[in-house]
Each structure stands twice: as structure tokens, then as C-alpha cells.
Amino acid sequence: MTSEETGHHRLEKREGPTYMLSKTFTRRAFGTIAVLLAIALACAMPCLAFATDESLGSVDKPTKSAEGNASEQQTVNGVTVSAEGDSALIEGCSFGINDFYRAQAGSNKAVGDRYWGYNYYIGTQPDNLSVISTGEYAVVYIPKATQEAFGFLYDNHNDQDYIKRYFTALDDANAKGSSRLSNVSKWYFTEQQSFEVNGVVFNFDQELDEGRYYAYIIGSDGSDVTSKASSSQVRLEFADFAQAVPPSDVQIVQANTGLAWLANFLATMDYSPLWVTLRTTLIAIVFIFILGLAAAYFTMRISPRAQSIFDAIFTIPMVLPPTVCGFLLLLAFGRSTPVGQWFIDVGFPLVFSWQATVIAAVVVAFPLMYRSSRGAFENLDPNMLDAARTLGWSNIRIFFKLMLPLAWSSIAAATVLAYARALGEFGATLFLAGNYAGVTRTIPIAIYFEWMNGNTDIAIFWTIVIIIFSFIVIMFINLWSSRTTKYRRRQTNKKRHDIGHNTHTPHMEGGLESAIATEDAGLPEGARS
């Protein structure tokens, strides 16, 4: 029998251990995926329990309690304000206030296919009392329908005083340390939906999208009033919105405390950021896993000079600030770029879509997967890889049956770390995807905007959720590492003991598959190689 035939005969005989290695790897891969899915599902249960279709519809609006569910009262300048700051009453006034909220920041993006100016989202109901503050002055809009319903006039000084008292008291309750409406000395009142002040046009109660009402500010010449290049530049600080209702519809009741408060808080919570985050990270981790392994394998097969160049390209998102990554992505995929315009032409606008959240997560988390996978591949015994090539194994077979199983411990840890990084992504996501409730608002973005809008309790809730996620990730990595280290140490001691009773190594006795099988011999399922 020739040496070639002998080699092939031995390869066929040793197909059993190779099959076992591949089988063990498959079990480990599915086990890791199962753990990730279990973590995701465990954290998604509140979402499934409380989220509604309505919760996915609002955009850039703070979470609010149900109408009339106000809490313990406080009196400011003759105005009785609910402790939650969303309802108020003045004794003797023909109307009360419900559904007040303060928009600390608006948006300068287009609504639909048109740029309207700097806009604040109001809600799904028309005829809203609106106040927009510039710091120097405030513009108040009082709908004609509201005046007719409650018998007051927008240009009557007494009625104006009621509006001022209502909005300053409610605004003070919601300002949370930022600039206050009570500090504004100059007020403009209007019943017209469009009102101009010094070349700046304030537009109120505008249905810019079907069933969605906005207030927007734009220059009389169509310019962006927030731009320094605009002759009508103005500093827009915040906006307040509310509904005028009969006094009988305003309820000032005792606040919930303890478990009752917690139950009400959880029942009225908008869980859409959790769903968006889980959907984004679970899709992103699939791309991160595939692209990271492919990039690591690719860089190992090119020349050292080219390797340095590609390594820098693949790693740079890890050292750049996330906001820089987001800005570069916006330059690449923005509406004015050829790529962005192509997506628009095919009916699939990429920017400010949920797909953009996936792209941002993939870009910032990819380097972790790439670096860890490459390090794991580089630590493999090159003699074992050469032996496989000598036996006639293809590169694909070497990768899937040798490299991937032996490096799986490091790859699994890298996958979990990349998942955690994608979970906490903020800067790039905000640049490329924006802040759309139920669409692109992930948990980190929700934390920031809820805090900006004064909803500290909601921001704390999402912070706790993120901490729990991070804790689970760290514990998983630590347990995995200790498990593999423990059993590898036991396996190493066993090999040393066997060598003491046998003058031949596994490589000499059984060839490639026998060596691999021996390396896995002391490891339990889920922790081998």
C-alpha cells in the first residue's frame, strides 16, 4: 500500500472523532444561541404583557399617565396643579387643563417627504393650546374652537392672564431645572394657526402626517431658523402643549404610593423601546457574527502589509466616538448622497428607519467580534492546520471542522460582548436613525430623551433594565470562562499523566482527528475546545 493510500485509509478510519468534534461544536453553538434568546425573551416579557399597538404610534412625545389620573395637589399662584404636572384648575375659571406636557426638544428633520422647519410633535388630537418659547418671548396659540367652547377671547387681558397662570404653573412643575416659562417677559397671543414675529413664522396644530399634529417654526423665506446662516435665526428653547377641558373633567386626587404606584407605573409604561432594542440587537448580532468571522478569516489569508491596512479599517469604529461613526454613516447614507437617494428611489428610505438602527449597531459592535475572532484563530496550532492541508482538507472544511470548533470558546464570548455593545449603542443610532417612538427609539435613546423631558422615573427604569442586561452578560462570560478553564486544566493534567505512561503523543499515534479528540476528551458538553 502506498503512503498516499495509507494516509487516506487513516483519514477514513478517523472520521469518527472528527464527527464527534463537529457534533460537539454544533451543540455548543446552539447552546450559546439558546442562552442569548432566553435572555432576550426574559427581558421581553414585560413588553409582551403591557405593550399595545397605540404605544408604537407616538413620536417624540413623553410618556404620560391616563387622563384624569392626576395625583396629590399643589397650589402655585392660585393654580391647583396635580403632582404629576399634567392637570390644573383655577377656581372660578371656565375651563381646566388636562394632558399638559413640555417638549424640551423638537426635531429639525423632514416630516414625510417635505421639510417644514423645526417641529414639535403634539399628538393625535387637534385644537391644542400651544406655547413656544424662545427665551426672549413666548408665542401662545389659542384655537378658535376652544374659545367658542369655553366662552373666552384670546385678546382679552383677563383670559390671557388665565392662560399665563395655567402654563407658567404647569411649566414650572415640569421644567426640572431647565429654563422656565415664568422667566419670559414678552408674550404674543394668537388664534391664527400661522403667526409671524420678526421674520419667524410659528405654525400651530398642523396635520403634517395623517392623524399626527405638529407645531413648526420656519423663516418667512422658508429657511431653517436654527441655522446661523438664516437671517431669521432664533433660539427655540422648548414648547408646552395642553388641552382645555371643562373643570369637572379635571380630577385632583391622592397620589398612588408603594405597590399601587409601582403597579400603575408598570401598567402605563411604554415598552416599545424594549421591543425596538431587542429586535435591533437580535438582527444585528447575526450580521455581526457572520461579518466578524469572515473578516477575521480574510485578514489571516492576505499579506502582512495588506493585513495591517484592513485591520485598521475593521478596527477603527471601536476607537472612534459613536457620534463620529453616526456622522460618517449619515454622510454615506444620507438623503442627499447617491446611496441614500438610490434607497429613496426604490421606495426604501434608509435614514430614520428601523433598519438604520441595525446598521448603526452592526458598525459599532463589529470590531469586537472581529478582533476577538482573529485573536482566537491566530492562537490555533499552525502545525495542526498544516496537517489538515497535508491530508487534503479544503479550506472550507478546515474552517468549519477545525478552526471554528477549536476557537469556539473565544468566539462565543466575543458574540456576547458584541451583543452587549449593540444593546447599549446610542450616538451612531441617534445620528442615523433618530428618535421615533416604536420605530427607532432604543433603550439608550429613551433614557436620554425621557430625562430631557423631565421623566426621571422612566429614565431610571430603563437604566435599571440596561444594568440587568449588562450584569447577565458579564455573569455569562465569567461562568463560561471559569467552566472552560477548569476543565481544560483537568484535561491538561490528564494528558500529562497519559504521556508519562506512553512514549508516543496523540499526534504520533492517531493523526489529526485523534489529536483533536484527545484535546476535547476531558471537557464536558458545552465546554469542549
The single residue listed with the C-alpha cell 499523566 is 497
Asked if residue 431 lies in contact with residue 334, where contact means CB atoms within 8 angstroms, the answer is no
- Note the pLDDT of residue 209: 87
The 10s digit of each residue's pLDDT in 179-215 is 889 889 899 999 999 999 999 999 999 999 888 999 9
Per-residue pLDDT band at 32 (split at 50, 70, 90): low
Dihedrals phi, psi of 369, to nearest 5 degrees: -65, -45
Grade residue 498 by pLDDT with cuts at 50, 70 and 90.
low
Q: What is the pLDDT of residues 383-412, one digit of tens each?
A: 888 888 888 888 889 888 888 888 888 888
DSSP states of 307-352: HHHHHHHHHHHHHS-HHHHHHHHHHHHSTTSHHHHHHHHTT---TT
Q: Of the ranges 78-87, 281-290, 463-472, which one carries the lowest mean pLDDT score?
A: 78-87
Among residues 173, 167, 189, which one has the least CA distance to residue 242?
167
Q: At what angle do helices 354-378 and 408-423 cross, to 10 degrees?
A: 150
What is the band of 55 on the pLDDT scale with cuts at 50, 70, 90?
very low
Distances (CA, A) of 297 to 218, 291, 456: 52, 10, 46
Residue 490, all three cell numbers: 483537568
Paired strand residues for 189: 140
Q: Which three cell numbers stand for residue 44?
A: 421581553
d(CA 58, CA 142): 23
By the 10 Å C-beta count (0-12 exposed, 13-18 middle, 19+ buried), 247 is classed as middle
Question: Residue 147 in contact with residue 154, Cβ under 8 Å?
Answer: yes
Least confident piece of the model among 145-154, 217-226, 237-246, 496-505: 496-505
Percent of the chain clearing pLDDT 90 (strictly above): 36
Distance CA 202, CA 140 (A): 10
Phi, psi of 216 (to 5 degrees): -135, 155
Domains identified in the chain and CATH numbers: 3-50+271-520 (1.10.3720.10), 93-256 (no CATH)
DSSP 72: S
Query: Residue 486 contacts by C-beta under 8 Å, 6 or more apart in sequence?
Result: none
- pLDDT of 336 reads 82
Model pLDDT, residue 276? 92
Local confidence band at 471 (pLDDT 50, 70, 90 cut-offs): confident
What stretches of 179-303 show up as alpha helix (H) in DSSP? Answer: 258-268, 272-300
Q: What is the pLDDT of residue 187?
A: 95
Residues paired with residue 97 on neighbouring β-strands, in sequence order: 88, 244
The CA distance from 161 to 170, in Å, is 14
The per-residue pLDDT of the chain, averaged, comes to 79
pLDDT at 56: 31
Q: How far apart are CA 359 and CA 346, in angstroms?
A: 18
